[in-house]
Each structure stands twice: as C-alpha cells, then as structure tokens.
Amino acid sequence: MKRWLLVPLSLLMVLAVLGVVGCQSKPKKLVVGTSADYEPFEYVDENGSYTGFDIELMEEIGKRMGVEIEWQDIAFDGLIGALQSGKIDAIIAAMSATPEREEQVDFTKPYFIGADAIIVAEGSGITITKNEDMAGLRVGVQSGTIQEQWIDENIDADVQHYERAEQAILDLKSGRIDVVAMDYYAAQNFIEQGGIEMALKTEFAGEHMAIAVKEGNTELRDQLNEIIDELQAEGFVDNLAMKYLGGGE
C-alpha cells in the first residue's frame, strides 16, 4: 500500500518543481497604456522603441517591482476607457490627476509637476500675454487633456480638438488654426523642430502628473507610491528631468 503511494507522490513532486520552473520562465508583466506622441514624455525613437521621461520612469518602476512592462500605445482620450475595461493595468502619459479623472480612476501621488504653454506659428504676428487673449481665436488642443478642459470651460474661442498633438502642430504651421495650448515641455520639443514659437508659458489648472490605476486597485497604487517615494528620494526623478526636460524649470 505504501509502495503504491510512492509513485504518484513522487510524480506530484516532480510536477510541482516543473511548475515552479515554468512560472519562473514567464516573468510577471504589467500592461501600461501611454500616448506615444508627446515628446519628451513618451514617444517612439528612430529604432521604433518607446522612450521618454515617462517611459524610462515606468521601466525603472517595473524593474523594482520585478515585473516586465508591456506597452500599449493608445490615443490620449482613450486611455481611461482602456483602463476601466481591463485592457491595461495602469496609465502613464503626462496625465494630470484632476478631480474629474479621480472620479473614474485612482491616481498615485504626483511624480512631476508641469506647466502649460500657448504656442503660435513663427511670424504669425499673434501676441498672447495672458490666457484670455485666446478669446476669438482658432485654438487647437489635444482631446482629453487638461488644456482642452480648461479652454472649453473658460475661453470663448473656436476650439479645434485633435486626437494627436502633432496633428494640431501641423494645422498650426499651415495656418488652419491660430494657437495651440499644450504642456510646456512638449511645446518646447515642437519648437525645437522649427516653424513655431512660444507665445506664453502659463498655468491653466496645475499639472500634477501621476500614474493612474483602475479604481479600487489600492494594492497596485500603494506599490507604485512606495517606489515613487524611493525614486524621488534617490534623485532618480530629478535626473530624468535633467535628461529629458532640461531640469524641469
């Protein structure tokens, strides 16, 4: 009787060991959504790889969590829906933790505080000294952004909504719109490419950039918060700001 039991028990032990080895060969992954059209935060480099401030930050977070980051490139205004539906586990996309978004998702603590910008085409002759100067103009904004929300609520203008930031820039250069309102650091990158210039560095509603997780996923949020604290204390985030944003001034 005892001899008969030894075979299945030993077989179970072998299967258990193989199961552990199998699990170890498949590292855990975290599916993260971004909108890779927003250099220097997230973009695709000449080799076809995702890179930028947010990308490098999230890759380091994944390393410290012991998980592989799987990226999903999604239009900005589709990111929250993708998170709610379970298509992705988290969002990092220069996304500000606004009260409206906090009704739909949970946010980590901010990892970076940004600024806003109003840009115009070179030689346009348009002068902007305050946000209200956009009234009556053709204003381009990326859908789903805090710039879009603030302008829709506060400025009487002909607002044009774009899925991708570069689409607004193309229309600005061609004269189809008068100004574009966007993140200051993303604007700086587009300015370096030529054809547009800074009209005003400003603040619409305060850009407290944070990572979004599905509402109620406090375990993941708390893990991310702990690592964000570590990275800020170590100076890792400041170093990334120097690398991608010129110091974040």
Q: pLDDT grade, residue 20 (50/70/90)?
A: very low
Task: For domain 115-206, give its CATH number from 3.40.50.300, 3.60.9.10, 1.10.3720.10, 3.40.190.10.
Answer: 3.40.190.10
Helix/strand/coil for 81: helix
Q: How far is it, in rounded angstroms, from Cα 241 to Cα 52?
A: 10
Task: Please give the model's pTM, rounded to 2 decimal places.
Answer: 0.78
DSSP for residue 75 = -
CATH 3.40.190.10 boundaries in the chain: 26-111+210-245, 115-206
Question: Residues 53, 240: contact at Cβ < 8 Å?
Answer: yes
Would you state the pLDDT for residue 54?
A: 98
Q: What b-and-e string marks burial along 127-151, b requiring 16 or more CB atoms within 10 Å of the CB?
A: ebeebebbeebbbbbbebbbbbbbb
Question: Residues 227, 57: contact at Cβ < 8 Å?
Answer: no
Q: pLDDT grade, residue 249 (50/70/90)?
A: very low
61-78 pLDDT tens trace: 999 999 999 999 999 999
Q: What is the CA radius of gyration of the chain?
A: 23
DSSP string, 108-157: ---SEEEEEEEEEETT-----SSGGGGTTSEEEEETTSHHHHHHHHH--S
104-150 pLDDT tens trace: 999 999 999 989 999 999 999 999 999 999 999 999 999 999 999 99
Instruction: Give me the architecture of the 26-111+210-245 domain, per CATH.
Output: 3-Layer(aba) Sandwich (3.40)
